[in-house]
C-alpha cells in the first residue's frame, strides 16, 4: 500500500481548473519530485494534500485512510509536514523561538523540546544563530529554518514547495544531502522544484504537471526523454 495516494483530485478557482483529475502515489521512504511550468497546479496540489484548501472532487488517502476532509492541524498530527514556496518563518522571533513555535504548549517536556531544537539546528548548520531574529537570516537560511521547524514534529512525509529557489548552491547541496539521509531513515518526500538539475538528481521518480494535469511520470532518465515534458515546457 502506498503511503500517500491522491485519486482524481480536482480543484477549481472560479472558471479556472487549477488541479484537474490529478492522481499520484508516493511510497514509504520514496522521494518524488513534481515539476511543471508556472501556474500548472503544483502548489495547489500540496495545499489540497495538507488540507489548506478542500477538494471539489476526488480523494486523498494516507496509508489507505481518507484524509481529504481533515484540517491542516489534524494532518500535522497524522505526520504530514509542509514548507512553503514563500518561506513562512516568524521574522521577529529568534531562530530558537521559531523552532519551538510549532509545538503545542504543554504537549511535551520543555527541556526535551529545546534539546530537540538544538540538535536539528546543529544538523542544518544554524546552531550559532539560536538567538538571531529569523528576519536577519538570508533567504536560504530561512528556508533551512522552516525545514528544521517542520522536523520538530517528526513528520512521516514532508511536502516541500520550492525548497531550492533563491538558495545559495552550498545550501542546496546541504539540504539535498539532508533529504537523502532522512530518506535512509525512512522519511518520505514530495518535493516541488523548478531546479530540474537538483530535483532529477534527488528524486526516485518525477511527476510532470501541466495545466492542472499529470502529463508524465517516471524516473528522471525517462522524463528527460519524454515528448510530453518537452511540450509542457516549450509549449509546442
| Interacting residues toward Mg ion by CB under 5 A | 43, 85
Tell me if 41 contacts ligand ATP by CB under 6 A. Answer: yes
Tell me if 36 contacts ligand ATP by CB under 6 A. Answer: yes
- Residue placing its CB nearer to Mg ion in the complex, 145 or 209: 209
Tell me if 87 contacts ligand ATP by CB under 6 A. Answer: no
Residue 38 interacts with which of Mg ion, ligand ATP, none, CB < 5 to 8 Å by class: ligand ATP
Tell me if 193 contacts ligand ATP by CB under 6 A. Answer: no
Number of residues that bind ligand ATP (CB under 6 A): 12
Residue 44 interacts with which of Mg ion, ligand ATP, none, CB < 5 to 8 Å by class: ligand ATP
- Residue placing its CB nearer to Mg ion in the complex, 55 or 152: 55
- Residue placing its CB nearer to Mg ion in the complex, 116 or 193: 193
Q: Least distance to ligand ATP from the beta carbon of 56, Å?
A: 13
- Residue placing its CB nearer to ligand ATP in the complex, 182 or 192: 192
Whole-angstrom distance, CA of residue 189 vs CA of residue 83: 11
Whole-angstrom distance, CA of residue 101 vs CA of residue 69: 25
Tell me if 82 contacts ligand ATP by CB under 6 A. Answer: no
Whole-angstrom distance, CA of residue 146 vs CA of residue 83: 6
DSSP characters over 10-64: EEEETTEEEEEEEEEEE-TT-EEEEE--TTSSHHHHHHHHTTSS--SEEEEEETT
**No. of helices (H) and no. of strands (E), the chain:** 9, 10
Give SS3 for 134.
helix
- Residue placing its CB nearer to ligand ATP in the complex, 116 or 142: 142
Q: Are 170 and 17 in contact (CB under 8 A)?
A: no
Whole-angstrom distance, CA of residue 176 vs CA of residue 199: 9
Among 42-50, 89-97, 141-149, 217-225, which window interacts with ligand ATP (CB under 6 A)?
42-50
Q: Is 90 exposed, middle or buried (0-12, 13-18, 19+ CB in 10 A)?
A: middle
Query: 18, 120, 126, 199: which one contacts ligand ATP (CB under 6 A)?
Result: 18
User: Which distant-in-sequence residues (6+ apart) come within 8 Å of 120 by Cβ?
Assistant: 99, 148, 151, 152
Q: Least distance to Mg ion from the beta carbon of 209, Å?
A: 10
Query: 8, 13, 91, 92: which one contacts ligand ATP (CB under 6 A)?
Result: 13
Q: Which residues pair with 22 in a beta bridge?
A: 9
- Residue placing its CB nearer to Mg ion in the complex, 85 or 156: 85
Interface residues toward ligand ATP, by CB under 6 A = 13, 16, 18, 36, 38-44, 85
Amino acid at each position: 500500500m502506498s503511503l500517500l495516494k491522491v485519486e482524481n483530485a480536482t480543484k477549481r478557482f472560479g472558471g479556472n481548473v487549477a488541479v484537474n483529475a490529478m492522481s499520484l502515489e508516493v511510497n514509504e521512504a520514496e522521494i518524488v519530485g513534481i515539476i511543471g511550468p508556472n501556474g500548472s497546479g503544483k502548489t495547489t496540489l500540496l495545499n489540497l494534500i495538507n488540507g489548506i484548501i478542500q477538494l471539489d472532487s476526488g480523494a486523498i488517502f494516507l496509508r489507505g485512510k481518507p484524509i481529504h476532509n481533515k484540517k491542516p492541524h489534524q494532518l500535522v498530527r497524522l505526520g504530514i509536514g509542509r514548507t512553503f514556496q514563500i518561506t513562512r518563518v516568524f521574522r521577529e522571533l529568534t531562530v530558537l523561538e521559531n523552532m519551538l513555535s510549532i509545538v503545542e504548549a504543554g504537549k511535551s517536556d520543555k527541556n526535551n523540546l529545546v534539546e530537540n531544537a538544538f540538535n536539528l539546528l546543529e544538523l542544518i548548520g544554524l546552531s550559532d544563530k539560536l538567538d538571531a531574529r529569523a528576519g536577519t537570516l538570508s533567504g536560504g537560511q530561512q528556508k533551512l529554518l522552516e525545514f528544521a521547524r517542520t522536523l520538530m514534529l517528526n513528520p512521516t512525509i514532508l511536502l516541500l514547495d520550492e525548497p531550492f529557489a533563491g538558495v545559495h548552491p552550498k545550501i542546496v547541496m546541504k539540504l539535498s544531502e539532508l533529504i537523502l539521509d532522512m530518506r535512509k531513515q525512512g522519511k518520505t518526500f514530495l518535493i516541488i522544484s523548478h531546479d530540474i538539475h537538483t530535483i532529477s538528481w534527488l528524486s526516485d521518480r518525477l511527476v510532470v504537471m501541466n495545466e492542472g494535469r499529470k502529463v508524465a511520470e517516471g524516473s528522471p532518465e525517462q522524463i528527460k526523454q519524454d515528448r510530453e515534458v518537452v511540450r509542457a515546457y516549450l509549449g509546442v
